[in-house]
Amino acid sequence: RREQARLKGSVVEEDTEEWQKDPHFTGLERVGGVDLSYVKGDESRACASLVVLSYPALEVLYQDCRMVAVSAPYVAGFLAFREVPVLVEAVQRLQQEEPQLQPQVLLVDGNGLLHPRGFGTACHLGVLTDLPCIGVAKNLLQVDGLVRDELHREQVRSLQRSGETFPLTGTSGKVLGMVSCHFYNNSSKPLYVSVGHRVSLGTAVRLVRACCRFRVPEPIRQVRPRPGTWGLP
């Protein structure tokens, strides 16, 4: 908790790059995605993946998927301490081997400020790498009074009809993230977008939507190992 609180003090919740301030993201050329996929039946082994796509074409420029040993235990609210170290190593390998392909922003399969202590994996990775980071989760983390109740489900249904977004406002009054839908095959499930580091929430939502061809944005969809790869399900 002390380490999370210390690192949280370095989180920047605002746009810091010129491309972020442009409606069309002029100047953005590389978007990255990161994820950890665990071996079925073995939570101590995982594939740490980093992918870099061109923008706006969303073509793969770089991909790194390596089996790693995960020694830290899983503790709810502290997942970053289990996963971020190997993701930082993946970013550092890229910076050393192909520095010209360093992503200008990372999409993280997980949460940022939408976290019990306001410091999820996307914040943690962003602070340690000093890269703009965005949290993109497929399920609602129920914190600060946020729950998947009937009201939330009705808001999502309305969102699916309109294709818009709505804020996730906790009982504290703080907006922790945004719910966003991307239509595919006449249906859509929500994504929960939150600030990680060096990006505003509005910019985070716009970029996630701009990177969607299907439900999940391409940097995260492409970073997932295909079935059967490295023994993963």
Q: What is the pLDDT of residues 165-216, one digit of tens each?
A: 888 989 999 999 998 876 555 556 789 999 999 999 999 999 999 999 888 8
pLDDT at 187: 55
> What average pLDDT does this structure show over 104-117?
94
Coil, strand or helix at 186: coil
What is the CATH number for 61? 3.30.2170.10
* Domain count of the fold of the chain: 1
As a whole number, the mean pLDDT across the chain is 87
- Residue 183: the pLDDT is 59
**Residue 232 covered by a domain:** no
Domain annotation covers residue 213: yes
CA distances from 203 to 16, 31, 54, 212 (A): 11, 14, 18, 14
Domain assignment present for 19: yes
Question: Does 136 map to a domain?
Answer: yes
Nearest-5° Cα angle at 114, 80 to 226: 55
Copy the structure tokens of residue 42.
């073995």
Radius of gyration of the chain (CA): 17
- For residue 178, what are the domain limits? 1-223
Q: What is the mean predicted confidence (pLDDT) over 105-126? A: 94
Q: Where do runs of H (alpha helix) occur along 27-178? A: 79-97, 121-129, 150-162
Calpha distance 198→154 (Å, rounded)? 32
User: Residue 110: inside a domain, yes or no?
Assistant: yes
Structure tokens at 202: 């509005």
Enter the pTM of the model: 0.89
- Residue 175 falls inside a structural domain: yes
pLDDT tens digits, one per residue of 117-174: 889 999 999 999 999 999 999 888 888 888 878 877 777 777 665 557 888 989 999 9
Give the residue among 42, 194, 29 at the shortest CA–CA distance from 119: 194
